[in-house]
Amino acid sequence: MMPKTVSILDIGLSNVRSVQNALKLVKIRSRIITTSEEVRASEALILPGVGNFGRAMSIMTQTELDKAIFDAALNRKIPILGICLGMQLLCQSSEEGNVDGLGAIKAKVLKFKGRLPEKFKVPHMGWAAVKVNKNNSWCSTLPHNCKFYFVHSYYVDLDIGDQSIFECEYGIKFCAGFKVNNIMGVQFHPEKSHIFGRRFFEAYAELLV
């Protein structure tokens, strides 16, 4: 069976080309899309993103991308990967603007500010160690400890359990990645994480067959 072609959604808030280049390195076919109609025709979907949660949701609501993504995630159940802001958008709501998210998973997005010891600066930026949840079968090919590149001021409040596949610590422990059935999100940028990012996308490719 031919692996699925990945659609990378571009709403103008991220460098989608860097994600596409990272996929190309591990021989994953991809295309860049911008409309809800293209989302509805997609076999697999990546939501990259940096920037403001409220602005992103406003763009997606106005263009009905929100409805198309929700349908793809929970009705058609295609593989969906959210990266950085994209991970957060999959959640129910965010303290950034106090607006609703896509609601694809039951989790909220909280701000670091006010929850970290004083010595920890916000945003959390740079390389950080990530613990891989080996209880999740999808993680079996990844090293137990990885390093990924982060840039974020908010984090997903999800219990560190079976659905949490990556855990990071920055003053507090937080979920750096989740996998809930066909829906996956990572707070880090695998496309900027060199060898560890490549290992991640190699494992991701297994979800496309």
User: Per the domain annotation, does 153 fall within a domain?
Assistant: yes
Q: Is residue 136 part of a domain?
A: yes
Q: Which domain holds residue 77?
A: 6-208
Displacement of CA 194 from its chain's centroid (Å)? 17
Is 13 inside any structural domain?
yes
Q: How far is CA 37 from the centre of its chain?
A: 22
Q: How far is CA 141 from CA 31, 101, 146, 183, 199, in A?
A: 26, 31, 12, 19, 8
Length of the chain: 209
3-state secondary structure of 71: helix
pLDDT the model gives residue 27:
97
- Distance in angstroms (rounded) separating the CA atoms of residues 172 and 58: 30
The CATH number of the domain holding residue 133 is: 3.40.50.880
Nearest to 69, CA basis, from 50, 49, 51: 49
pLDDT band at 160 (very low <50, low <70, confident <90, very high): low
In this prediction, residues 183-197 reach a mean pLDDT of 98
How many domains are contained in the chain? 1
Residue 162 pLDDT > 80: no
* Longest alpha-carbon distance in the chain: 53
The predicted structure's pLDDT at residue 49: 86
Residue 97 has pLDDT above 90, yes or no: no
Interval 44-81: pLDDT, tens: 999 998 889 999 999 999 999 999 999 999 999 999 99
In a domain, 98, yes or no: yes
Residues classed as catalytic: 84, 189, 191
* Residue 102: inside a domain: yes
Query: Does residue 1 belong to any structural domain of this protein?
Result: no
Buried b (16+ CB within 10 A) or exposed e, 115-132: eeeeeeebebeeebebbb
pTM metric for this prediction: 0.96
Tell me if 98 sits within 8 A of 85, measured CB to CB. Answer: no
Which residues are bridge partners to 145 per DSSP? 131
Q: Is residue 161 part of a domain?
A: yes
